[in-house]
Structure 1
Amino acid sequence: MTMSPTHDVIIMGGGLAGLTLALQLRQCFPDIDVLVLERRAHPVPHATHKVGESSVEIGAHYFDTVLGLKEHMQQAQLRKFGFRFFFSEGRRDLDGVTEIGVSHYLSTPSYQIDRGIFENHLAELARERGVRFVDNAMVKQLTLSEDDAPHRISWREGETMREAQCRWVVDACGRAGLIKRKLDLAQPNDHHAHAVWFRIGDRLMVDEWSEDPQWRTRCDPQARWLSTNHLVGAGYWVWLIPLASGSHSVGIVADPAIHPLDTMDSFDKAMEWFRQYQPRLFDALDGRRHLLQDFMQLRKFSYGCKQVFSDRRWALTGEAGLFLDPFYSPGSDFIAISNTYICDLVAHDRQGHSLRARAQVYDQMYQSFYQSTLALYEGQYPLFGDPEVLPVKVIWDYTYYWGVLAQIFFQHRLTDLAHLGQVSDELRHAQTLGLAMQQLLREWSGHSEKKNLPGMLDQARLPWFAALNASLRERCADGPAFLARLRACLGQLRTLAHQIHGRACDAYPALAGSSAALAVQALLEKELPHAPIDLDAEPMLFALTETA
């Protein structure tokens, strides 16, 4: 009988999550034997039909610095000009509505990623670095070991059936979720948004959507088209993402209670939807219908997972585990986090250590990050059309992200359980405060007058905000310095919550007695000696009447 080949790690799925994990494993352990099984034939087309083209700071740092792909990111992809929002429902005059964004690049880069170009590059790089990458491979059977024996996998490669065994198996096969289905790990959530999206084989030059020279010169460079542009309204947002191949990705993400999927589930329906809700985009697309490259839809795209890391030497990463929402582009962030945890678990296994406690803690932390991020979306879509509240929500959400999770990742403390344990109380407080703040924002929007003033709320003109972004690139010298940085960020977050609470309640006194406002107030009254509120801090928000 012929013995099946044995590998240290078999990764089922050779997309973004699987290939980056393979590269990270080879980087951490030069002698490790990794096999990647990818269903699709390679090379894949440019502008490949996947959601997840916009990255944010954690994912971008993972690609360009942790994996050392900076040259590719800078030369073959597009540097993103931040997030940008226009309250343009029913309007053709983008220069006459409120705009949120930055007037110039902030310090820490992020990228617009053509997934076809990127995944082809990752596959080539993986092969160069000793990973066995097999495309056109369809996994047919998976047998997970219950003890120290190897896992077994069989797959069809072209017309040939093959089999192998491995110590570690990682599911990175996306929504197919092979391990999730096998072990009944699917876990629904209460976020019911849906999405449709497509690619157009041309650039959508947002900067040319106005002839007003003052509007055009607000930004330096005059390159709004490089942003992840959001055209927002109550219950939905539309994305515009440029791709290095020359195409533009366009998507609608919506709350089905406000904008049902059957109003937009084909290209023609989506165009009619644009005609009504985003007519300036309709104008830009109407003469380019012949350049349509693809069209996709997903009903209720968001889901969780009961477990993603196991001491039985299996793990899930990317969409095989969980998926939140494309708003704020967290997908590559969660790939970076899960892959880092997997590499650390493999390291401990190679050293002969028990994995039980560490796998459990990593799973709890990952689930906590998921729950905190889910709160940004769940029940929040109705306020997306609010020019008064959404800009504040965006500032709050960024501050939480850059000040907590991004600090932990950039400072390489994701697996530093000793130091994270020292701030566990403060981190739990921040999570509770974050949940309460999302409820406050919801209730505030119920009172808001929703004035859509013309002008730009320039995040780059908030000195503290730009400094927080820049701090991600400033390495802490040691553990105590990291703790001091994180606690300072948590203090800043609490100060911002204090100012938001004050603004909302001052503007709408009836809000002050609401359950959300009272809950936030109670949390802010809790004394945290290492993360105090600065009652004398300069205003952290835009002025209520601020425009250009």
Structure 2
Amino acid sequence: MSQTPALRTDVAILGGGLAGLTLALQLRQSAPSLSVTVVERRDHPVREGAFKVGESTVEIGAHYFADVLGLREHLETEQIRKFGFRFFFSEGSQAIDGCTELGVSQLLPTPSWQIDRGRFENFLGERARALGVDFRDGAVVRGLELAEGDDEHVVTLEHGGQARTLHCRWVVDASGRAGLLKRKLDLAMANDHDANAVWWRVDGFVDPNRWSCDPAWLQRCDPPDRWRSTNHMCGPGYWFWLIPLACGAHSLGIVCDAKMHPLETMNTHAKAMGWLRRHQPQVAASLEQGEHALQDFLFLRHFSYGAKQVFSTRRWATTGEAGVFLDPFYSPGSDFIAICNTYICDLIAKDASGAAFEPYVALYEQLYFSFYENTLTLYQDQYPLFGDERVMPLKVIWDYTYYWSLLAPLFFAGRLTDLATLGRLRPLFEQASALNLAVQPLLREWGRRNEGREAPAPRLLDQFRIDWFRDMNGALADRLDTPAFLVRMEENVARMHWLAGELLQRVRDDYPTIGDCGLEALLAAGPTGKALSLPADWYAQQGVAA
């Protein structure tokens, strides 16, 4: 293998997947004078459909792609507009129209998309090159020497049968689970969320509407496009996803608590189909039709993890799955790419302008880890709840209220790096975090006590009917000056207090002696006001059929 002259770049990004290519685009927009090189192992163009998971976006990630990076036209014309999250409590069911359904009957105001990762990453690669990024696909990183002081880092790579040396001021690891920097610097850190996943793609769309002939059930949604949702088929200790891809394939996956559903019961396609026949028989019967040919099959053990460090004063950083990974429930992967990339761009821009970036490294890392740790609480030890059609719909409402109260509006307002505003918001973040840390175990205990209890009648729990919930989603796009933004955030946390109080009251209606997990003291110290309302059938022993 021949050796060619050394290359130089301001920023070397190791990995040209979703995290690396979006970072390259954001850098070219925020600091166009900097040179950026992306080193990607795969040859482009990559395959559509059966390529990578992480296909569902939610509000932060969708806003990042569409508005921060300016990719809305591609999303609207080449990807699928998502019809929200949809949950069916369908363990063991042969008839989907006989299950409780949680979701929206109409689109919420703030859009999100289902992403064909192959199609999207091909587009991102082309866009990066058009903006002047040196995108080297089919290139393998063979070595990495991190510099001391003001010297430059050195990346050794193999590209086109030649060995190349790349000198750079900044190096960012976006290599996914390969974790080049994590392995080199021993940054890996386990967390206490023990879950596994298996997934595969099939030809053709899998449409839940085809599983029913009930006109009333079919007309619950306007438009009647349940197939465009991220559909979750839920049961105790697991959920099964169905996500449509613009290439005409459907992404499918089982995600489960490792103790309740061992990976060994589903780690081949045959085993996974056998598992579905037991737990989701109607889904299995649909997939066994000849139109849904198998495209791929993969699995991952212990998919959730943390990291000891993600940013460094030595001018390196990690982003995407090269750093931390939470859980695919609620689809936060793109959100955390957006947040991490925004902090990395700000650090690099400060350094390029001659400003001292070092004081911000620890601050941004502390913020990033706090977002990660608070989001992890939504999943940790909560999988046993997933089949409880009383508690889980309320958990989803709570979790989304928490998400739309602070983190999402902070990102939409472009204030992730606004330390003055963040300082003023710190008490609100502490209040919200404390409320969430009390509500999650309360929900868990409520679900534990419900074990063996008769299920309520099947119904549609329509999130679109909850005015304040719908309004929170629409308000994310509001452009507010700082005083109005702070007032909005106070109102959001007040809403969390009121909702937490309502949940506690409803739990005690069922179980008067249940502990409050410290929630009463938090409510007594928080704002007072008229309680929020959720439709009565969200709590009823025998729910009202929609």
Report the alpha carbon displacement of residue 208 of structure 1 after superposing the two structures with TM: 1.2
What do residues 5-40 of structure 1 show as CA deviations (whole Å, max 9, x unaligned)? 221100000000000000000011222100000000
Report if aligned partners of 1:263, 1:273 keep a CA contact under 8 Å in 2. Answer: yes
Give the equivalent residue in structure 2 for 1:475: 479
| CA–CA distance in structure 1, aligned partners of residues 258 and 440 of structure 2 | 20
Q: Does 1:498 align with 2:497?
A: no
Alignment coverage as a number of residue pairs:
539
- 1:189 counterpart SS class: coil
| CA–CA distance in structure 2, aligned partners of residues 86 and 279 of structure 1 | 13
- 1:423 counterpart SS class: helix
- 2:432 counterpart SS class: helix
Q: Does 1:525 align with 2:524?
A: yes
Report the alpha carbon displacement of residue 289 of structure 1 after superposing the two structures with TM: 7.9
1:116-515 matched pairs, under 5 angstroms: 116-288=118-290, 291-448=293-450, 449=453, 451-476=455-480, 478-511=481-514, 514=515
Say which of 526, 529, 538 aligns to 1:534. 529
| CA–CA distance in structure 2, aligned partners of residues 305 and 493 of structure 1 | 30
- 2:192 counterpart SS class: coil
Report the alpha carbon displacement of residue 356 of structure 1 after superposing the two structures with TM: 2.3
Report if aligned partners of 2:50, 2:295 keep a CA contact under 8 Å in 1. Answer: no
- 1:116 counterpart SS class: helix
Deviates more, 1:41-50 or 1:534-543: 534-543
Structure 2 letter corresponding to 1:453: A
CA change 1:366–1:288 in 2 (3 A) is farther
CA change 1:32–1:450 in 2 (3 A) is farther
| CA–CA distance in structure 2, aligned partners of residues 408 and 322 of structure 1 | 21
- 1:52 counterpart SS class: coil
Structure 1 letter corresponding to 2:385: L
Give the equivalent residue in structure 1 for 2:17: 15
Report the alpha carbon displacement of residue 370 of structure 1 after superposing the two structures with TM: 0.5
| CA–CA distance in structure 2, aligned partners of residues 452 and 43 of structure 1 | 50
Give the equivalent residue in structure 1 for 2:44: 42
CA change 1:397–1:474 in 2 (3 A) is same
| CA–CA distance in structure 1, aligned partners of residues 106 and 292 of structure 2 | 34
Report the alpha carbon displacement of residue 51 of structure 1 after superposing the two structures with TM: 1.5
- 2:41 counterpart SS class: coil
| CA–CA distance in structure 2, aligned partners of residues 218 and 357 of structure 1 | 54
CA change 1:536–1:387 in 2 (3 A) is closer
CA change 1:363–1:450 in 2 (3 A) is farther
Report the alpha carbon displacement of residue 450 of structure 1 after superposing the two structures with TM: 5.7
| CA–CA distance in structure 2, aligned partners of residues 211 and 538 of structure 1 | 33
Structure 2 letter corresponding to 1:231: M
| CA–CA distance in structure 2, aligned partners of residues 464 and 518 of structure 1 | 26
CA change 1:13–1:488 in 2 (3 A) is same
Report the alpha carbon displacement of residue 259 of structure 1 after superposing the two structures with TM: 0.7
| CA–CA distance in structure 2, aligned partners of residues 333 and 8 of structure 1 | 26
Report the alpha carbon displacement of residue 290 of structure 1 after superposing the two structures with TM: 6.7
What do residues 150-202 of structure 1 show as CA deviations (whole Å, max 9, x unaligned)? 11101111321101111110000000001111111101001110000000011
Unaligned residue ranges in structure 2 (runs of 5+): none
Report if aligned partners of 1:97, 1:452 keep a CA contact under 8 Å in 2. Answer: no
| CA–CA distance in structure 1, aligned partners of residues 488 and 167 of structure 2 | 45
| CA–CA distance in structure 1, aligned partners of residues 56 and 412 of structure 2 | 19
| CA–CA distance in structure 1, aligned partners of residues 365 and 330 of structure 2 | 23
Structure 1 letter corresponding to 2:363: V
Report if aligned partners of 1:387, 1:450 keep a CA contact under 8 Å in 2. Answer: no
| CA–CA distance in structure 2, aligned partners of residues 409 and 455 of structure 1 | 35
What do residues 222-265 of structure 1 show as CA deviations (whole Å, max 9, x unaligned)? 10000000000000000000000000000000112111101100
| CA–CA distance in structure 2, aligned partners of residues 6 and 83 of structure 1 | 45
- 1:364 counterpart SS class: helix
Report the alpha carbon displacement of residue 355 of structure 1 after superposing the two structures with TM: 2.1
Normalised to the residue count of structure 2, the TM-score between the two structures is 0.97
Structure 2 letter corresponding to 1:525: A
Report the alpha carbon displacement of residue 118 of structure 1 after superposing the two structures with TM: 0.1
CA change 1:546–1:306 in 2 (3 A) is farther
- 1:509 counterpart SS class: coil
Report the alpha carbon displacement of residue 537 of structure 1 after superposing the two structures with TM: 4.2
Structure 2 letter corresponding to 1:534: G
Deviates more, 1:340-349 or 1:353-362: 353-362
- 2:406 counterpart SS class: helix
Structure 1 letter corresponding to 2:54: G
CA change 1:459–1:444 in 2 (3 A) is same
| CA–CA distance in structure 1, aligned partners of residues 236 and 291 of structure 2 | 27
RMSD, aligned α-carbons: 1.4
State percent identity of aligned pairs: 55
Report the alpha carbon displacement of residue 480 of structure 1 after superposing the two structures with TM: 1.3
Report if aligned partners of 1:457, 1:546 keep a CA contact under 8 Å in 2. Answer: no
- 1:169 counterpart SS class: strand
- 1:505 counterpart SS class: helix
Report the alpha carbon displacement of residue 204 of structure 1 after superposing the two structures with TM: 0.4
| CA–CA distance in structure 1, aligned partners of residues 4 and 219 of structure 2 | 69
Give the equivalent residue in structure 2 for 1:77: 79
